[in-house]
Amino acid sequence: MHSNSSSGSRPSLNSLSSKLSFQAVALGIAIIPFNSLNAEKSHQYNAVVTTNVLTVVAVENPTTVFKDGQFLHGFGYDLARNYAQSLNVRLDFKTVPDNATALKWVAQGKANIAMTTANLATIENKHLVSFSASCGDQSSLSKNGLNPQLNWVLQQADDPLTLTASGFVCQSKQLGTTQQLASFYNRNVVKPEAWSTIQKDLNQRLPIYKASFKRSASKYNLDWHLLAAIGYQESYLKPTSVSPTGVRGLMMLTNSTAQAMGVSNRSDPTQSIQGGAKYFDLMLDQFSSVPYPDRNWYALVAYNMGPGAVNQIQKRIKAQGKNPNQWVNLYDYLQRNQAQNGRYKQAVQYVTRIRTYLEHLKTSSRIDI
């Protein structure tokens, strides 16, 4: 897991609270019944500022977080990461077996925030407060196959941490960030009826190339599941695949890329996997300024449409006053402009499908891996 930081000084407790109170009123948001703030009272916000760490706890599930080796990703995780970045603190994201444990951690002060799908009555019985992770926009989650009942849970309604967190979540909704994250983590990318074919393909072909994926991944310190997911998206793990544009092989390398990666025979699966791994590692290096796990998504877009195209989009994002190294901004740009550029639409589908295959490979017990 990586830490996030942003430039600029942290606003004072009272000014930040007043600012977000005004934002909530301006947006017409009835988040939770806040009482007047008491700066003398012990607050979780003070602890976060003092330690420079925001601790968030959740149950691992498709809506909150997915463990991807040494990294984490997911709708809930990304939203919490963005909030920590807005506070200029490091995110410490923990997973626990169940909602009861997550709520207990918040009640005991072991975590500042819990992301949970526990029902509201249970939360209230624990004398905790909560607000919707989508700021009431539950349709954005449900239409993407995510649990619309996801809430952020904190200790006290009058804690500035509760105020800033709820203000941030609703601002994310207003800016469209919530909708874009939900779209990227869409659980319906692959149609249900297609999974039986995918499972059959993986059961038949993946064991043949598993050793090659593992060797190449080890050489470049990559996750072999991710390489396999790329291979399945590129060719369905068929080493004889050829596209109308001339790319070929299991990892579908162009002739120029293959030559640059030292691949003499693109149809040789071992060479293709080695070349694909080397090229993906090169793409990761190209975007070393992007923190993980976002760097994986940037590298995948670059693998698909070239690093130069991604660099140009980053310049346009920066010109809009947005962070060019934040995945949600790159994804938003690709989504908004895909009607004018077919390559953008292809890139969106490419990355979301590979993410889906990666999660399937990591969690499926039906594949002999």
List the catalytic residue out of 60, 193, 234, 359.
234
Please give the Cα distance from 76 to 222 (Å, whole number).
24
CB-based contacts of 208: which residues, under 8 Å, 6+ apart? 237, 269
Nearest one of 332, 266, 262, 339 to 297, comparing CA atoms:
332
Q: Strands of 151-154's sheet, edge to edge?
A: 90-96, 53-59, 113-116, 151-154, 129-132
359 is catalytic: no
User: In this structure, which amino acid lies at residue 45?
Assistant: Y
**What long-range pairs does 301-306 form, CB within 8 A, spacing at least 24?**
301/330, 301/334, 301/347, 301/350, 301/351, 303/230, 303/279, 304/346, 304/347, 304/350, 304/351, 305/343, 305/346, 305/347
Nearest one of 288, 249, 292, 287 to 267, comparing CA atoms:
249
Reported residue count of the chain is: 369
Sign of CA dihedral 87, 79, 136, 46: negative
Which residues are bridge partners to 154 per DSSP? Answer: 129
Determine the 3-state secondary structure of 154 from DSSP: strand
Q: Cα 118 to the chain's mean position, in Å?
A: 22
Determine the 3-state secondary structure of 71 from DSSP: strand
Whether the Cβ atoms of residue 351 and residue 301 lie closer than 8 Å to each other: yes
Cβ count near 49 (within 10 Å): 18
Catalytically active residues are: 234
